[in-house]
């Protein structure tokens, strides 16, 4: 009979909580470095945020995206991105905003029309101004802020406020580190990246809640165990599940990054980095934070707290 694969031994006792000061120092360097990078280098905002030209075209047959991208990139119009959507004949072309007034934008679209020829059907042409781009930046920041607030409220009601505080600190750490990475490597930061950041928040909180749930169970089960020892036990008990989930997700994301094309590369990169940092923060930040939030120890927990059926069976056995 085949045994289940375990990335971490069942009785592992890794010194995760005992290593918390080193983890806190590493995270502080990461967060402060990210904030400095954003303040000094800034983000390489994409067309969604900077404004530009959107052209929707339909080709006679299946669109050759690579050939079209090569043709338009040589026109001297700056940043150009192409994305297939709907059917294989529909292509959305994004061109960065040209210097000058509306006449300069119209001239750029004429250059694109001449380059693609008359065999292409032009279905829509729009100009995205800097005002719309600023509104999108504000909307993206608001979406991230509301996501953090919603997660705080959920974890607060699901557990206790100490857990909610630890979860939000870990999530803020993940988001800042991801934005800092894009600032350092100057990859395009667009609406897809914002979607990736929100996905990272959801994925990270999933890992954190799983570990927190085990902490809460152990608080009921081991009422006399010192809190630091109990937290370390809880993390080690869930470490195999965390490693397996993150590992399989990374395999899928690496495939998207290397074989999904240029359109999905930045989105996949943000998720890959976010999964790595999010898994790290769930283990090394969210749980050790409970030591400093006044969480009740096991021996201080209410004796009237309901005990799950499987725990009752374990105790009676």
**Which pLDDT band, with edges at 50, 70 and 90, does 45 fall under?**
confident
Domain range for 300 is 20-42+133-304
CATH number where 169 lies? 1.20.1640.10
pLDDT in the model for residue 298: 44
Identify whether residues 123 and 159 lie together within a single domain.
Answer: no
Say if 256 falls within a structural domain. yes
Greatest mean pLDDT among 1-10, 130-139, 217-226 lies in 217-226
Residue 51 pLDDT greater than 90, yes or no: no
Q: What is the pLDDT of residues 233-276, one digit of tens each?
A: 888 888 888 888 888 889 999 998 888 766 678 889 999 999 99
Final residue before a domain boundary, out of 80, 95, 128? 128
Asked if residue 234 and residue 200 are part of one domain, the reply reads yes
Q: How many domains does the chain fold into?
A: 2
Residue 55 structure tokens: 């052209």
Q: Does 37 map to a domain?
A: yes
pLDDT classification of 176: cutoffs 50, 70, 90: very high
**292 and 227 in a common domain:** yes
Asked if residue 266 is part of any domain, the answer here is yes
* pLDDT higher than 50, residue 52: yes
* CATH code of 84's domain: 3.30.70.3400
Task: Identify the band that residue 35 occupies on the pLDDT scale cut at 50, 70 and 90.
Answer: very high
CA distance readout (Å), 86 to 8, 53, 92, 112, 295: 44, 20, 10, 21, 51
Residue 12 lies in a domain: no
Tell me: the pLDDT tens digits for 58-114?
888 888 888 888 888 888 888 788 877 767 888 888 888 777 777 888 888 888 888
Residue 11 maps to a domain? no
273 and 173 together in one domain: yes
Question: Which of these ranges, 85-89, 186-190, 201-205, has the smallest mean pLDDT?
Answer: 85-89
Non-local CB neighbours of 137 within 8 Å, separated by 6+ positions? 45, 49
Strands 90-96 and 52-58: antiparallel
Are residue 138 and residue 111 in the same domain, yes or no?
no
Distance CA 161, CA 157 (A): 8
Do residue 114 and residue 153 come from a single domain? no
Structure-block tokens of residue 136: 């999108």
Q: Write down the pLDDT at residue 166.
A: 87
Q: Is residue 268 domain-shared with residue 249, that is, in the same domain?
A: yes
Mean pLDDT in residue range 190-215: 85
Among the three residues 128, 146, 178, which one is the final residue of a domain in this structure? 128
Rounded average pLDDT over 39-63: 83
Give which of 78, 83, 92, 152 is closest to 120, Cα–Cα: 92
Is residue 167 within 8 A of residue 205, CB to CB? The reply is: yes
Residue ranges of alpha helices (H) inside 74-190 are: 102-116, 130-158, 161-185
Whether 175 contacts 198, CB under 8 Å:
no
Residue 316 domain-assigned?
no
Percent of the chain with pLDDT over 70: 86
Given a contact cutoff of 8 angstroms between Cβ atoms, the answer to whether 93 and 82 are in contact is yes
Does the pLDDT value for residue 306 go beyond 50? no
Q: Same domain for 37 and 93?
A: no
Query: Per-residue pLDDT tens for 111-163?
Result: 888 888 878 888 888 777 666 667 777 887 888 788 778 877 877 777 788 88
State how far the Cα of 122 lies from the Cα of 120, in Å rounded to an integer: 6
- Specify if 314 maps to a domain: no
From 81, 97, 128, the end of a domain falls on 128
Taking CB atoms within 8 Å and a gap of at least 24, the contacts of 212-215 are: 212/155, 212/159, 212/163, 212/166, 212/167, 212/286, 212/287, 214/238, 215/163, 215/287, 215/290
Place of tokens 């997660």: 151
For residue 141, being part of any structural domain is answered with yes
Residue showing tokens 């004429």: 110
Residue 203 has pLDDT above 90, yes or no: no
> Is residue 82 packed enough to be buried (19+ CB in 10 Å), middle (13-18) or exposed (0-12)?
buried
Q: How confident is the model at residue 9 (pLDDT cuts 50, 70, 90)?
A: low
Contact 308, 217 (CB under 8 A): yes
Same domain, 56 and 166: no
Nearest alpha-carbon partner for 217 in 307, 313, 314: 307
Q: Are residues 90 and 146 in the same domain?
A: no
CA 229 vs CA 134, 219, 222, 225: distances in Å: 49, 11, 10, 7
- 110 and 69, same structural domain? yes
Average pLDDT of the chain to the nearest whole number: 81
Helix, strand or coil, per DSSP, at residue 9:
coil
Question: Could you tell me the pTM of the whole model?
Answer: 0.74
Check whether residue 61 and residue 190 sit in a common domain. no
């Amino acid at each position: 009979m085949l045994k289940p694969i375990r990335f971490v031994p069942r009785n592992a006792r890794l010194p995760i909580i005992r290593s918390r000061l080193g983890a806190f120092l590493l995270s502080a360097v990461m967060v402060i470095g990210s904030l400095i990078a954003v303040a000094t280098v800034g983000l390489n905002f994409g067309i969604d945020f900077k404004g530009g030209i959107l052209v929707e075209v339909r080709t006679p047959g299946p669109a050759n995206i690579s050939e079209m991208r090569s043709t338009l990139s040589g026109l001297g119009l700056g940043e150009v991105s192409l994305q297939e959507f709907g059917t294989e004949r529909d292509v959305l072309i994004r061109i960065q905003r040209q210097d000058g007034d509306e006449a300069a934008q119209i001239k750029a679209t004429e250059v694109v029309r001449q380059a693609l020829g008359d065999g292409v059907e032009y279905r829509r042409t729009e100009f995205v101004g800097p005002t719309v781009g600023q509104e999108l930046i504000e909307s993206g920041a608001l979406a991230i802020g509301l996501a953090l607030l919603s997660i705080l409220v959920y974890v607060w009601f699901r557990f206790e406020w100490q857990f909610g505080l630890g979860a939000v600190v870990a999530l803020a750490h993940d988001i800042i580190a991801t934005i800092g990475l894009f600032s350092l490597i100057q990859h395009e930061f667009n609406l897809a990246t914002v979607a990736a950041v929100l996905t990272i928040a959801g994925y990270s909180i999933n890992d954190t809640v799983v570990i927190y749930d085990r902490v809460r169970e152990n608080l009921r089960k081991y009422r006399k165990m010192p809190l630091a020892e109990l937290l370390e036990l809880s993390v080690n008990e869930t470490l195999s599940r965390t490693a397996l989930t993150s590992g399989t997700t990374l395999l899928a994301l690496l495939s998207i990054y290397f074989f999904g094309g240029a359109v999905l590369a930045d989105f996949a990169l943000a998720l890959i980095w976010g999964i790595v940092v999010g898994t790290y923060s769930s283990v090394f930040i969210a749980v050790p934070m409970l030591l400093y939030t006044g969480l009740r120890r096991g021996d201080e927990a209410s004796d009237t707290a309901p005990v799950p059926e499987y725990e009752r069976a374990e105790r009676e056995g």
